[in-house]
Amino acid sequence: SFHHAPGGYHRHYLYEPEGFKEQMALRRIEDETLANYVPPTKQVPGAGLAGYFWSQCDAQDSSITWRDVKAITDDPDQPPYLRMTLLEQAGYGKACGVPFDLRGHRGVVLYFA
C-alpha cells in the first residue's frame, strides 16, 4: 500500500482557490487544527489518486499524461477517498503521476493543475 510521505505535500504559495467552498476544501486537507481535517491514509494500488496513477504506469515510463480529476473521482470502479474529492473541490482539475524507483524506494509523485 502507499502512504503519504511526511512533509510530502507542497502547494505553491501563489495558488489560492477562488471561492469560499474551494478554500474550505483545501483547508480540510492542509490545516491539521481543523476539527474536520482529513488526514492522508494508506492507499492500495488502483485506489485514490496515488494508487490510480501507480496502476497506470511504471518507473520506466517516461511519458506524462494529465488526467481529469473529476473523471477519476466519478469513476464507479474507484473506491471513495475523501481527500481526492476535496482536491477536486479545491479547484484542481488535472492531475498526473510520475513514478519513481530510487535505490529500492518506489512510489509516485503527484502534480496538480
pLDDT tens profile 65-107 = 899 999 999 999 888 889 999 999 999 999 998 888 888 877 8
Helix axes 20-30, 82-89, angle to 10 degrees: 140
Distances (CA, A) of 77 to 52, 61, 103, 113: 11, 24, 33, 24
pLDDT at 68 (0 to 100): 94
Confidence of residue 41 (pLDDT cuts 50, 70, 90): confident
17's grid cell: 482557490
Contact (Cβ atoms closer than 8 angstroms) between residue 106 and residue 100 = yes
Contact (Cβ atoms closer than 8 angstroms) between residue 77 and residue 84 = no
Contact (Cβ atoms closer than 8 angstroms) between residue 2 and residue 45 = yes
pTM over the 0.85 mark: no
Confidence of residue 38 (pLDDT cuts 50, 70, 90): very high
pLDDT at 40 (0 to 100): 87
- Cα separation, 43 vs 31, in Å, equals 21
In percent, the amount of the chain with pLDDT more than 70 equals 94
